[in-house]
């Protein structure tokens, strides 16, 4: 067991703890809208200069009083992975304070036989989980040391495996002491991303991108894993966290099918943004969206 270093601190976000906390608090204060305690959130994972303000809309919904465990599901950007993987570390470091991995939950997940272990180098190379950690540390700061994290690296899963992992995580999602953080950016548009879908009937390129993203967001809000999978197959939208999102939707679908107490699920998007507005084929952008899941 070892500590995972905050390898993207100092580049993707500041490594000065005081400056980082002030920056995050500023974004959280500016995030408008009513507060409703989250059971899960979807938040982007780009550099904070690009998506920090958007992420705040999701993290503002976290009620730290009830959270004992934070599951973080992030996509694998650098390593080919056909399953989900767990960290070999015991602690994830952040500039604010360190976060301890829940080894008991890890043992339960390992016992399913559905998870592999990622190497420390794979762990430290990946940014999709790390970019959620400072925000988690910030919103949970009053309870530092009193909660654990469960980082899970999600590979390129076929629909059947998204259903398999959804059934595994449904048990944990049903527990109000658990918060799920789903790490995802939305459309990566431009030649450098090898994706240039453009529906000219929607206006400028950036308007077409937003329409495309919102079609996918609509399936997510409807908690429709089949519809979301079909949408991705049809449009090939470059939503990098599509598999973590698919796992969440399948977990919710599992709970809904097995629901005996009539608990209501509400998943809604709170903020949408783009890194820039594309108007020509020479441009590129990444979209960001924040969402909250409530269960009552």
- What residues contact 66, with CB distance under 8 A and at least 6 apart? 37, 176, 177
Q: What pLDDT shows up at residue 261?
A: 58
Q: What percent of the chain has pLDDT over 90?
A: 95
Whether the predicted pLDDT of 206 surpasses 80: yes
d(C-alpha 111, C-alpha 109), whole Å:
5
d(C-alpha 169, C-alpha 158), whole Å:
17
CATH class held by domain 29-295: alpha beta
For residues 218-242, average pLDDT: 98
Whether the predicted pLDDT of 260 surpasses 60: no
Indicate the average pLDDT of the chain.
96
Q: What pLDDT shows up at residue 33?
A: 75
Helix-, strand-, coil-residue percentages of the chain, each rounded to 5: 40, 20, 40
Name the nearest CA neighbour of 155 among 235, 238, 79: 79
Whether the predicted pLDDT of 80 surpasses 70: yes
d(C-alpha 257, C-alpha 238), whole Å:
29
Q: What pLDDT shows up at residue 263?
A: 80
Whether the predicted pLDDT of 9 surpasses 70: yes
- pLDDT tens for 22-48 read 999 999 999 977 788 999 999 999 999
Q: What is the pTM of this model?
A: 0.97
CA angle 174, 106, 96 (to 5 degrees): 90
Q: What pLDDT shows up at residue 132?
A: 98
β-sheet bridge partners, residue 153:
74, 85
Measured CA to CA in angstroms, residue 97 lies from 135, 191, 240 at distances of: 11, 39, 28
- pLDDT tens for 161-191 read 999 999 999 999 999 999 999 999 999 999 9
Q: What pLDDT shows up at residue 1?
A: 66
Whether the predicted pLDDT of 6 surpasses 80: yes
Whether the predicted pLDDT of 216 surpasses 80: yes
């Amino acid at each position: 067991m070892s500590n995972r270093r905050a390898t993207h601190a100092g580049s993707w976000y500041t490594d000065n703890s005081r400056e980082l906390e002030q920056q995050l608090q500023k974004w959280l204060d500016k995030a408008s809208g009513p507060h409703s305690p989250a059971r899960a959130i979807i938040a982007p994972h780009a550099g904070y200069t690009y998506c920090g303000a958007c992420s705040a809309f999701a993290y503002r919904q976290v009620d730290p009083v009830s959270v004992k465990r934070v599951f973080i599901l992030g996509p694998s950007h650098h390593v080919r992975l056909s399953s989900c993987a767990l960290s070999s570390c015991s602690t994830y470091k952040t500039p604010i304070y360190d976060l301890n991995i829940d080894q008991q939950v890890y043992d339960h997940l390992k016992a399913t036989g559905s998870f592999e272990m990622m190497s420390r180098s794979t762990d430290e190379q990946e940014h999709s989980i790390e970019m959620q950690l400072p925000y988690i540390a910030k919103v949970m700061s009053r309870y530092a040391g009193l909660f654990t994290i469960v980082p899970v690296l999600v590979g390129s899963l076929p629909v059947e495996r998204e259903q398999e992992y959804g059934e595994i995580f449904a048990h944990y999602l049903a527990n109000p002491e658990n918060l799920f953080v789903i790490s995802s950016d939305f459309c990566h548009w431009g030649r450098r991303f090898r994706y240039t879908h453009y529906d000219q009937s929607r206006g400028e390129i950036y308007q077409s991108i937003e329409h495309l993203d919102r079609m996918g967001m609509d399936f997510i809000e409807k908690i429709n894993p089949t519809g979301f999978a079909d949408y991705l197959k049809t449009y090939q939208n470059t939503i990098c966290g599509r598999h973590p999102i698919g796992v969440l939707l399948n977990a919710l679908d599992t709970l809904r099918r097995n629901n005996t107490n009539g608990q209501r699920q509400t998943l809604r998007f709170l903020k949408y943004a783009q890194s820039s507005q594309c108007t020509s084929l020479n441009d590129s952008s990444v979209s960001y969206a924040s969402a909250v899941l409530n269960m009552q």
